[in-house]
Amino acid sequence: MSSLFDLTGKVAIVTGGNKGLGAGIALALAEAGADIAVVSTRTETETVEAAKALGRKAIHIAADLTAIEPVERIVSTTLSDLGGLDILVNNAGMIRRADSVDFTEADWDAVIDLNLKSAFFLAQACGRHMIAQGSGKIINIASMLSFQGGIRVPSYTASKSGIAGITKLLANEWASKGVNVNAIAPGYMATDNTAALQADEARNRSILERIPAGRWGQPSDMAGAAVFLASAASDYVNGITLPVDGGWLAR
């Protein structure tokens, strides 16, 4: 059974992999055997060094995915430096908060461009390679707001609803070509993106009261779902958005 989850010899791209959920996912894949290309705007190398300490090859690719210009370079660098491409985790994202009546075009475009547009075009570029080789795994990072409306985050809700949609669309097109496309929807995770919610005493309390698990999620809580969707264990799983939410949606 353990061989189903073995990623030895696989190569993964993880965007936004230097912090938070992305770092947790990258290290989970490395622990399962994958070599890792960490994509981020940050210069820190903690994730790369931690993956190397596990005996994996790991590189950092500096790229700003608020535009799609770096997409082809990310793919070509991964192929040249790590010798393959088997897994993509579209994790990079941002959130902007304001009442909808005050929300600006700049905040709308910034979030949509990073969270949705670049995620699609990176999936497209990786998908071309994966289709040609007859196999691959793409994991998009969705959200509770792929299912719900949220409050004061219109562009984030639109982007994450879009992620759920293109996950289904790409699965429809590519499942027969050996490429599995799925998504993970994290619940309320203790990361930089949710710092404002954690700091708001009333909001923090109301969130915790609804989570059956009784706590905020941690990046390590993403590990099992990520390895499952990246591995042979999910070869007949296509187009799902898997909640990892402590039971939030069941409430």
Annotated catalytic sites, by residue? 156
Between the two ends of the chain, the Cα-to-Cα distance in Å is 33
Provide the 8-state DSSP code for 9: T
What are the CA-CA distances from residue 240 to residues 118, 138, 183, 185 (Å)?
A: 20, 11, 6, 10
CA–CA separation, 220 and 64 (whole Å): 25
Q: What is the CA radius of gyration of the chain?
A: 17
Neighbour-count burial of 121, counting CB atoms closer than 10 A to its CB (0-12 exposed, 13-18 middle, 19+ buried): middle
What is the DSSP code (8-state) at residue 2? G
- C-alpha 152/C-alpha 149 separation (Å) is 9
